[in-house]
Amino acid sequence: MGFISISINKYVEKHLINNPFENEMDLRKRLDSAIEAYQNGVRCSCGNDIWVVGSASLGNSCFTCITGESHPNEDFEIDLAIKKRERARRDSRIYRK
């Protein structure tokens, strides 16, 4: 369970195989702006961190609001967004001690 970390380049490659009519430049632009939003602390309307992969296609929302599922199960997330998630979790644990 959880997100599978993937680099932007690898994700773009996979996405274009599954969506052959997608424009690569356009996809990259949308991914970049979703990552930027994520790193700027933009959140879903429900308060969760946004899911970059889904937000690139559907607007800035979290995994649950986009898919209707409570937890990711072998869904992709861009590695840059996962790294920040892990760091945030570690920081909050230190803070609690």
8 versus 44: smaller Cβ distance to Zn ion: 44
7 versus 48: smaller Cβ distance to Zn ion: 48
* CA distance to 12, 17, 37, 83, 88, per residue, from 25 (Å): 10, 15, 18, 24, 31
Report, in Å, the least distance between residue 88 CB and Zn ion.
Answer: 17
Window 5 to 44, contacts with Zn ion (CB under 5 A):
44
19 versus 39: smaller Cβ distance to Zn ion: 39
* Under rule CB under 5 A, residue 62 binds Zn ion: yes
Which residues 6+ apart lie within 8 Å of 55 measured at CB? 34, 37, 38, 61, 66
Gap between the Cα atoms of 5 and 25, Å rounded: 22
* Residues near Zn ion, by CB under 5 A: 44, 46, 48, 62, 65
